Structure 1
Amino acid sequence: MVIGYLVLFANYGLLSLITFCLYGLDKSAARRGRWRVQESTLHFLSLFGGWPGAMLGQKVFRHKTRKRYFQVMFWLTVLLNSIVLGGAAYFFNHLHVG
């Protein structure tokens, strides 16, 4: 069980780091008029555990904070991820082996 939690936290950490870096790259690209990271990519990473890094990236880089549609979608990814995580935690904590 402990190994499962370590894998889960490693997943969140890695995806958060990747997502944070992509927010920084996208902000830099936006300023320079260059290739941008697709919003769907940022949302996908947030949905699967990178939302803590996304939140930090939004604050640090002041990026994607004024786009209402983006924010609505972002918070939906946080909500969906939290529901799935909570459901999985409930299931695994109530799973009786033997």
Structure 2
Amino acid sequence: MKDIFLIYIILINLISYNAMFIDKRRSISGKWRIKETTLLFLAAIGGSIGEYIGMYTFRHKTKHYKFSIGLPLIIFAQILLIKKLI
């Protein structure tokens, strides 16, 4: 069970990281964007660390309070939840 959870966390974080990359690229080129709610949903279901790393790697959404404050809060909540479950 722990192996499946670890694989899930790795995959969702890779997806979240790539979503930030794709959204940054599309913001530069003026194409359709990934909705902020979708990005926050990916973070909420376990991709918060990948998204946080992507946010600062690509310098994307760093001035949005939803992300600059919201993502660390989501990470903190997820850490508390995991500690409680373990």
Same fold, TM exceeding 0.5?
yes
Q: Give distance in 2, aligned partners of 1:55 and 1:74.
A: 6
TM-score, with structure 2 as normaliser:
0.88
Moved over 3 A (4+): none
Which letter does structure 2 place at the counterpart of 1:47? Answer: A
Paired-residue identity, %: 28
TM-score, with structure 1 as normaliser:
0.78
Answering whether residue 11 of structure 2 is matched by residue 21 of structure 1, we say: no
Structure 2 gaps, min length 5: none
The alignment's C-alpha RMSD in Å is 1.3
Q: How big is the shift at 1:17?
A: 0.6
1:43 and 1:77 in contact (8 A); partners too? no
**Higher Cα Rg, which structure:** 1
Structure 1 gaps, min length 5: 90-98
Tell me which residue corresponds to 2:57.
60
1:46 and 1:74 in contact (8 A); partners too? yes
Which letter does structure 1 place at the counterpart of 2:44? Answer: L
Which letter does structure 2 place at the counterpart of 1:54? Answer: E
Answering whether residue 70 of structure 2 is matched by residue 73 of structure 1, we say: yes
Q: Give distance in 2, aligned partners of 1:82 and 1:48.
A: 13
